[in-house]
Chain A
Amino acid sequence: GQNIDQPTEMTATEGAIVQINCTYQTSGFNGLFWYQQHAGEAPTFLSYNVLDGLEEKGRFSSFLSRSKGYSYLLLKELQMKDSASYLCAVRDADYKLSFGAGTTVTVRA
């Protein structure tokens, strides 16, 4: 099984940078995903890492260290619309996703 930890809540100011950490313990690893979920809506895909290093996609970047069981999602130039929950998910060898409880990010003006 998987054990995935991420902070419950984070608050940041519009225009700032926020880093959401995710640590995991896994019996089999086949990739790490980040999803964004606005209140009352479905999760939507943000990023995918399977090799160590940084993946950049516009204002969002995701980093993975497999040896440390660690990932982070970096949100730059924060906007009010970035207020949402961010879900870290690990895919196992059977291609099943296990999700962390999610980090609620609140962006203040």
Chain B
Amino acid sequence: IAGITQAPTSQILAAGRRMTLRCTQDMRHNAMYWYRQDLGLGLRLIHYSNTAGTTGKGEVPDGYSVSRANTDDFPLTLASAVPSQTSVYFCASSEGSGSGTDTQYFGPGTRLTVL
């Protein structure tokens, strides 16, 4: 059972460079999410997708873009990285059924450092 995978595990990036963080799930979940986690601030939602072909902005979307071409993949792109984007990035998915717990399951995370 793979669940959710993210790549790379960690990355050091020069400011101004473009970077795509990959996320793939094999649970056939409709909804997918990208969060960043910073010390003292907790997890903050960057972008989300309720179903393939649709995306939406979360709490902190500036400087990030996403696409959802199919059910399984939800890449996050930093067009021109800045040091304030240094963080741990978590991808998550859920059934998106809107019923009961509809729990979000998290990937292992990508630790990104922008210098």
- Residues of A whose CB lies within 8 Å of any CB of B are 1, 31, 33, 41-45, 48, 87, 89, 95-102
Docked complex Cα distance between A53 and B100 (Å): 16
Does more than half of chain B's interface fall in helix, strand or loop, or is it mixed?
Answer: loop
Cross-chain contact A42 with B106 (CB below 8 angstroms): yes
B1 to chain A, nearest CB (A): 14
Given contacts A42-B108, A42-B109, contact A48 B43 (CB under 8 A): no
A14 to chain B, nearest CB (A): 27
* A-B contact list, 12 entries, CB within 8 Å: A42-B90, A42-B108, A42-B109, A43-B106, A45-B105, A48-B101, A48-B103, A87-B43, A96-B58, A97-B45, A99-B42, A101-B40
- Residues of B whose CB lies within 8 Å of any CB of A are 31, 33, 35, 40-45, 48, 58-59, 90, 96, 98, 100-109
Cross-chain contact A97 with B42 (CB below 8 angstroms): no
Docked complex Cα distance between A80 and B90 (Å): 26
On chain B, the residues within 8 Å of A44 by CB distance are 106
